[in-house]
Every structure is written in C-alpha cells, then in structure tokens.
Amino acid sequence: MWAIIQKEFNVFFTSFIGMGLMFSFYLLIGLYTWFFQGNVLDFGFAELSVFFDLSPWFFLFFTPAICMRLFSEEFELGTFNLLRTLPISIERIIWAKILSQIWLMAIILLPTVLFIYSMGNLSSPAFNMDLGIVFSAYFSLLLLIIVFVCLSALASAMATKQALSFVLGVFLNFVFWQGPQEIGKIFNFDLTFQSLNYHFQNISRGVLDFSSIGFYLGLSLILVGLIILRFQWNYLKSKI
C-alpha cells in the first residue's frame, strides 16, 4: 500500500497541475480571507468565520480537480490492469489511493494554520480568541474533506475520462453539500440534517457532536464500499 501512496504523492508534487492547484488555493483563500471586501479584518473580532465559511466551497471544486486522475487516468492509460498484477488486493489498492488523497488534502490544509497565528497576533490582547471553536472548525473541515475525497474518488471510478470525472465530482460534492436543503425547499420538507453543510456547521460551533462525526465517517465508508463494488463488478464482467 505504501508504494501506491508514495506514487500518488510523487505524481502530485512533481506535476505542474498539482502544484498549480495547490498554490491557486492558497492565493484565492488568502485573498478572500484577508483582502477582499467582507474579509476577517472588517468584522473587528478575532475570529476566522470567513475562512471557514469559504473553505468548503473551495474544496468542493479543488478536491475533484485533484482527485479526477485517481482512477480515470489509470483507465485512460490502461495501467490499472498492471496494478492488479501486484501482490495486493483490489480493496487495498483502492484504500491506498483514497488515503493518499486524504493525506494530500490534509497537507494542503495544514499551512492555513498560519491564519490562526496571524489573527492571534492582531487581536488585543494577543490571542484573545476562542481557540476551541477554531480547532473544532478545522476538525469539521477535515472530516468534510474526507467525504469530498471519497465522492471525488467515486466520480473518478465511474468515469473513464478525467474531464468527466471532474464534472461528476463537483456535481456529487454539491449534491451532498447543499442538495438536501434545496430539495427540502422545493417539497417543503426539512432535510437539512441530511446535508454535509448542516453537519459541518454543527461541529464548527465548537461542540463535538458524535452524531455528525458518525454521519461523516459512515458516509465515507459507504462511498468506499461503492467504489470497491464498482471494481468487483468490472472484474466479474471481464471473467464472463
């Protein structure tokens, strides 16, 4: 598994697309958090709500862009069958690829911790801010990223072209992020609790709600299971 994870890291950090996506994220989130109208400095409070309100929308698009090649590229190049010749099960290959993307996204998120340090130094007195809420929001964002990675990986497993994988990944992320709320408005039902947005906001308030944590992790496991079933079905079709 480690060899596959290492391969995914090498591909990302040695490609112009990977590095370009990473620095584009830093540039955009930095501008919206600190410079554009409605930034954190406009509120006069030592808090990072602007960053945490915007981050899910950025990751909603950036995660499919980073994960679109996860399985689609293997299909396009015909190298997935080569992977299957390795002495490792298809399930472990899938887990290795998904874990590599989760770690990549966590590494990309890590430098934004500097925002906490910057806001702490700007507050008076220094670091007069609710760090509990900040770190719970980071925890919620990390759980959200895990689900976005699983959704994007499912899109990549379903599509044989990277462009189609990206579009499908964005669609799935949006549906699970905002879809239940929009459907509830149309049919006059309260489906808010089924959306990722609801559970993200729930934990971001500073309360570690285990029902929301269970929702994140349970949904992630279901999505990984669907990916495994997709490849097992392909394997069975190839044997017929």
pTM above 0.85, yes or no: yes
The pLDDT score that the predictor gives to residue 166 is 94
* pLDDT average, residue stretch 186-209: 79
Question: What DSSP letter does each residue of 138-198 carry, written as one string?
Answer: HHHHHHHHHHHHHHHHHHHHH-SSHHHHHHHHHHHHHHHHHHHHHHHHHHT---GGGSHHH
Does residue 170 carry a pLDDT above 80? Answer: yes
The pLDDT score that the predictor gives to residue 148 is 96
Of residues 190 and 95, more confidence is placed in: 95
Contact call for residues 133 and 205 (beta carbons, < 8 A) = yes
Kind and range of the H or E element at 50?
Answer: helix 49-67
56: preceding bond cis by omega (within 30 degrees): no
Does residue 238 carry a pLDDT above 70? Answer: no
The pLDDT score that the predictor gives to residue 240 is 55
* pLDDT tens, residue by residue, 43-101: 766 678 888 889 999 999 999 999 998 888 877 777 766 766 667 788 888 899 999 99
Token pair 């285990």: residue: 210
Q: What share of the chain is helix, strand, coil (3-state, %, to 5)?
A: 80, 0, 20
- Residue type (1 letter), 144: L
The pLDDT score that the predictor gives to residue 204 is 85
Mean pLDDT of the residues in the chain: 85
Q: Provide the pLDDT confidence category of residue 195 given band limits of 50, 70 and 90.
A: confident
